[in-house]
Amino acid sequence: MNASFVDSPLLGVAISLPIIASVCVVLRLCAKRWRRRDGFTGDDWTILLTLILCWGHSINTIVAACLGGVNTITIPPREYANMALRTLWISSFFLITSLYTVKVSILLFYWRMFSINARFRKACLAMIITLTLWWISSLILVFLSTDPIDSAWKDATRAKHRFDFNTWYISYSALSIFFDVVILCFPIPVIKSLRVNLKRKISIIGIFWLGGFVCVSAIIRFVLLYRSIYRLTDYGENQYSSITQAFIWAEIEPNTSVIAACLPTYGPLFKEGGLVPFIWQSVRSSLGLSSGTGRDTGRSATGDTTAVGYYELDKVTSYSKSGGDILTDKATTNAVTVTSQSEQEDEDAVVKRDLGV
C-alpha cells in the first residue's frame, strides 16, 4: 500500500526518451544546415517547442519522484496522494500542448513540402485551425475541471469535478488518435499527383508513414488509461500500478511523436555528399581503406558544370541585350518559358531534395 506511482521504469523512460528526442531534433537541424538552407521554418520552431514541452513533462515526473519517492513513498500517504494527483494534473497541460504542437509541426512540414498546391495549403490551414480549437478547449476544461478551481493544486484528494473528467479524458485520447491517423493520410492525394514513378511514390508515402508508431503508442496509452480509470477500486498491492503504466506511455507518446516527425527530414544526410557518407568516407580514409578522391572529383565536376551552365546563361542573356531588341525579346520569351517550367517542377524538386528520394 506504500508503493509510489513513480517507479524505476517510469523514471528511466522520463530521463532517457527526452534525450533521444533531443538527439533527433539536433540531427534534423543538421540536415537543414547540410542543405545550406538559411533560417528555421515554422515546422522547425514548433518541433523545438514540442521538445521543450517533453522535457517539462519529464521534469514534472522527476520532481514527483524527488518529493514522494521512487517505488516506495517517503511521505505520509494522504500527502502523497495530493502530490500524485497534482502531478497528474500538471502533466495534462504538458501532454495536451505537446501533442498539439507536434501535429502542427507535421502539418507545417507538409505545407512547406507541397506549398505550390493551393488546395492542399487550404486543407492544412483548416486542419491547423481545427487542432487549435481542440487544444484551447482541452486546456480550458482541464483548468476548470475542479470545484473550486484551486483545489486541483491545493487539496486534490477532496476536489470535486464539474463534469465527468474520466469520460472526457478518454474521449480526448480517442480524438487524438483520430487526428494522428488523419494527419498521416493527409499528403497521400498530393503524393499521387507527383510526376514521379510508382516506386518513388510508395517510398515517399513510406517515409511519411514512419510516424505510424505514434498511433500505436497512442492506442496503447488509450487502453492503459481506460483500464486505469475503470479499475481504480481494485487497488491490490499497489493502488497506483495501473496509473503508472498509463503514465509511462504518456511519456512515450509525445517523445516518439517528436522522433517520428524528425525522421522524414533526414534524407539529405544520407544522400551522396551528405553528412553520413562524408563521415563514412572520413572513417575509411583514416583507416587507409579508401581515399574517396574519385567521388569527390565527380561531385566537383558536377558542381562546376552546373556553375558553368548558369554562367553561360548569364552571358547569353547579356549578349542578347546588347545585340538588339529582337534578341532581347527572344531571350525574355525563353526566360518566361523556363520560369513556367520550373514552377511546375518546383513541387517535385522540393520533395526529392528534402526527402532524399
Q: What residue spans define the domains of the chain? A: 8-270
CATH of domain 8-270: 1.20.1070
Nearest alpha carbon to residue 20 among 250, 207, 260: 260
- Which residue is it, cell 480526448? 172
Please tell me the distance from the alpha carbon of residue 206 to that of residue 204, in angstroms, as a whole number: 5
| Residue pLDDT tens, the chain, 357 long | 588 889 999 999 999 999 999 999 999 988 887 766 557 889 999 999 999 999 999 999 999 999 998 988 898 988 888 888 889 889 999 999 999 999 999 999 999 888 778 889 999 999 999 999 999 999 999 998 888 888 887 877 777 888 888 888 889 989 999 999 999 888 888 888 777 777 777 877 777 777 777 788 888 888 877 776 665 444 344 456 667 888 888 899 999 999 989 988 887 776 665 556 656 666 667 777 654 444 444 444 444 433 333 333 333 334 444 444 444 444 444 444 444 444 445 555 555 555 555
Name the burial class of residue 167, with classes exposed (0-12), middle (13-18) and buried (19+) by CB atoms within 10 angstroms of its CB.
Answer: exposed
Nearest alpha carbon to residue 15 among 50, 71, 56, 58: 58
Contact yes or no for 207/236 (Cβ under 8 A): no
CA distance from start to end of the chain: 56
